[in-house]
Amino acid sequence: MKQAWRHLWRSRRRSILTLLAVFIPVLILVLDIGMLNGEQQGLFKNTVNFETGHLQIRSATETTAGGALPLMKDPAAALAALDSVPGIAWRTARLDLPAMISRGGRSQGILLQGVLPEEVGRVSPIGRLVSEGAYLTTGGNGVVIGGELRDLLSASVGDEVVLLGAHPDTGIGAASAPVVGVFTAPEPSMGRTLVQVDLGLAQTLARRPGAVTSIVAFVEGVTGPRDAEKVGAVVAELRARLPKDYRVLDYNELAPELVTFQNVVKPIHILFMGIFFILGGLVVLNTLFLAVVERTHELGVILAVGASRRRVMRMVMMEALLISLVGAGVGAAAAFGLVVWAQAVGGVRLPAAYDEVVRVMGMEPIMQLRVSALELALSGLAMVGVALLAAWIPARRAASLEPVEAMRHVN
Amino acid sequence: MSTKAILRTEKLVKTYVTGTVETPALRGVTFELHRGEFTAIAGPSGSGKSTLLHLLGGLDRPTSGEIYLDGTALSTMPRNALSRLRLEKIGFVFQAYNLIPVLTVLENAAFILDLQGVARTERIERGRRVLAELGIEKYADQFPNRISGGEQQRVAVARAVVSEPAIVIADEPTANLDTAMSVELIDLMRRLNSERSATFLFATHDGRLLDRVNRLVTLVDGRIAADEIRNSL
């Protein structure tokens, strides 16, 4: 190992090049993983907080015409089941109703969410996103709409809007209510179509007091998509306890776009990183190959005095191992430093030009980086593996030299 | 001096082929080398000296004929076994020293022991001992490029003899040295020959070295033209 280490110092420029060939892919991979995790985390957070929760209990009846969720027969039983299962951090009842909102001659199809403001406020970010007016109050008659819908309806806080709720099980209900707050949605489509009202008002529109379409629950200790197992365990427990009249769905089932995102984005990232790793591997191969060519005479002597071919191969591989360990270690450490820095400053603000694009995707224009110790270690080890794979070719060449011919070699 | 043959060749032929052109280098060399001999192979350029040394050292294979080292036939030996045999039975000294530049003098001297898997402490101890024997212990921690050519060649000799091989093969060991250094090196090898009974086989043009050997084999056109025993030493 000492010999390999000294060889690296002997051709410093080449060693630095090899080091960079390992360092850069590891740095980029860790940052890429960090961004991917950040994106996933952001998407997860938005999805579970705005829409799905970690899990929902719904009626097992098929979704009714128009996409309306079936009304639950006995929400109290579902709530009781949830309260009996350990690990539930919080739960609330919700009534999701396809509806129409109109003001003057303008109208828009919406998803009306009837919520319990004092409960939902603990997790729903809509209360915090209200930029005009105020959030809902329990038993209040107000409506909270998104900024896009406000513009569409030309409505302001205090203006009356007409709500028309339609559910196949109960018919059509109508009510007039004032806009009490306007929120800034993380994505434009949500700002156009999501409207929140107090559960009581939604039940009035559904023409059924006490009607609920979902019990939304959050599981303790779940902070991101990596905690899917915890959610899965609670879901399995609930499925075992609840009668067949109920369906228990986790956030992946409720928002398949989360899985779709992973399925679409991950292969792109893998392809992208694969190219970087291959390029890194080619540089390692090239520099080590040159090193072997330059040392042909010396390797010939080593073989001549009796070194086994395996030993010569090991010498070259050892050099590759050392330099790739250093490069990967430094790359991973540098990337980790950047991730920690990005977390400390609350994320990296993307240029303003990207604002609309990321908002369409339901994300904030702030790039969050998240990376685990395992991902950090695996990124480094993956590049070490690629470097060793690349080094195998020059190592094999070194081992296959014929001593007499190699000793004739002059640089 | 023992009369037992440590190295024996039978009708050794080596022909180099380049395309359709065949160049004979050795045309049937048969001879024996005995334990403890200090033998030189001399001859004009192109006579086949280096080729013969390469074959005897197990670095190349004959076109026909056979070589026996300590009774073991080399020509059909698998490559790995041949490496092992070189490691255990043959010490090499090359014209251009051929030390490993990233190893210190001590590490170079003990390199063969390292390849043989000898424990580090023992390697250091034996390496230092041989360096002391050759008068270069003070350079133990230097790198080869910091010492003179003569000293480098002594290190090469140290490397060749440290494991006490059956035979030391030296290809023009004094060719790159000035007279004083050559004489010193020859004396040194002669001393190792007499004190350790180390068997030396040289290829050389160097008259100073030829004067000190106890056997001189002269090659001409790939054949042994003369085999002269010089017992006066």
Kindly list the residues from chain A whose CB atom is less than 8 angstroms away from the CB atom of residue B92. Answer: 304-305
pLDDT(A17) > 90 = no
Does residue A6 belong to the interface with chain B, where contact is any CB pair within 8 Å? yes
Does residue A411 belong to the interface with chain B, where contact is any CB pair within 8 Å? no
Q: How far is B91 from chain A (nearest CA, A)?
A: 7
Q: Looking at chain B from residue 162 to 221, which residues have their Cβ under 8 Å from any Cβ of chain A? A: none
Does residue B101 belong to the interface with chain A, where contact is any CB pair within 8 Å? yes
Which of the 8 DSSP states describes residue A365? Answer: S
Cβ separation of A306 and B57 shorter than 8 Å?
Answer: no
Better-predicted residue by pLDDT, B223 or B1? B223
For A89-138, how does the pLDDT look when each residue is reduced to its tens digit (9 = 90+)?
A: 888 899 999 999 999 889 999 999 999 988 877 667 788 889 999 999 88
pLDDT(A303) > 90 = yes
Q: How far is A16 from chain B (nearest CA, A)?
A: 18
Kindly list the residues from chain B whose CB atom is less than 8 angstroms away from the CB atom of residue A404. Answer: 54, 59-60
pLDDT(A46) > 60 = yes
For A316-326, how does the pLDDT look when each residue is reduced to its tens digit (9 = 90+)?
A: 999 889 889 99
Task: State the residue for tokens 């040295």.
Answer: B177
pLDDT(A66) > 80 = no
Q: What is the mean pLDDT of residues A12-33?
A: 86
- Asked if residue A191 lies in contact with residue A356, where contact means CB atoms within 8 angstroms, the answer is no
pLDDT(B188) > 90 = no
Q: What is the mean pLDDT of residues A321-339?
A: 91
Given this model, what pLDDT does residue B2 score?
47
Given this model, what pLDDT does residue A78 score?
85
pLDDT(A262) > 80 = no
Q: What is the SS3 assignment for chain B?
A: CCCCEEEEEEEEEEEEEECCEEEEEEEEECCEEECCCEEEEECCCCCCHHHHHHHHCCCCCCCEEEEEECCEECCCCCHHHHHHHHHHHEEEECCCCCCCCCCCHHHHHCHHHHHHCCCHHHHHHHHHHHHHHCCCHHHCCCCHHHCCHHHHHHHHHHHHHCCCCCEEEEECCCCCCCHHHHHHHHHHHHHHHHHHCCCEEEECCCHHHHCCCCEEEEEECCEEEEEEECCCC
ipTM: 0.90
Looking at every residue in chain A, the average pLDDT score rounds to 86
- CB contact burial B157-196 (16+ within 10 A = b; e otherwise): bbbbbbbebbbbbbbbbbbbbeeebbbbbbebbbebbeee
The percent of residues in chain B predicted with pLDDT above 90, rounded, is: 48
| Beta-bridge partners for B66 | B10
Kindly list the residues from chain A whose CB atom is less than 8 angstroms away from the CB atom of residue B171. Answer: none
Cβ separation of A305 and B112 shorter than 8 Å?
Answer: yes
pLDDT(B3) > 60 = no
Kindly list the residues from chain B whose CB atom is less than 8 angstroms away from the CB atom of residue A301. Answer: 94, 98, 100
Cβ separation of B94 and A6 shorter than 8 Å?
Answer: no
* 3-state DSSP assignment of residue A216: strand
Given this model, what pLDDT does residue B233 score?
46
- pTM (2 d.p.): 0.73
- Asked if residue A258 lies in contact with residue A48, where contact means CB atoms within 8 angstroms, the answer is no
Q: What is the mean pLDDT of residues B97-111?
A: 92
Helix H or strand E encompassing A291: helix A257-294
Nearest to residue A36, comparing CAs of A201, A268, A252?
A268
Q: What is the mean pLDDT of residues B26-47?
A: 90
Q: Looking at chain A from residue 302 to 341, which residues have their Cβ under 8 Å from any Cβ of chain B? A: 302-309, 311
Given this model, what pLDDT does residue A19 score?
85
Does residue A10 belong to the interface with chain B, where contact is any CB pair within 8 Å? yes
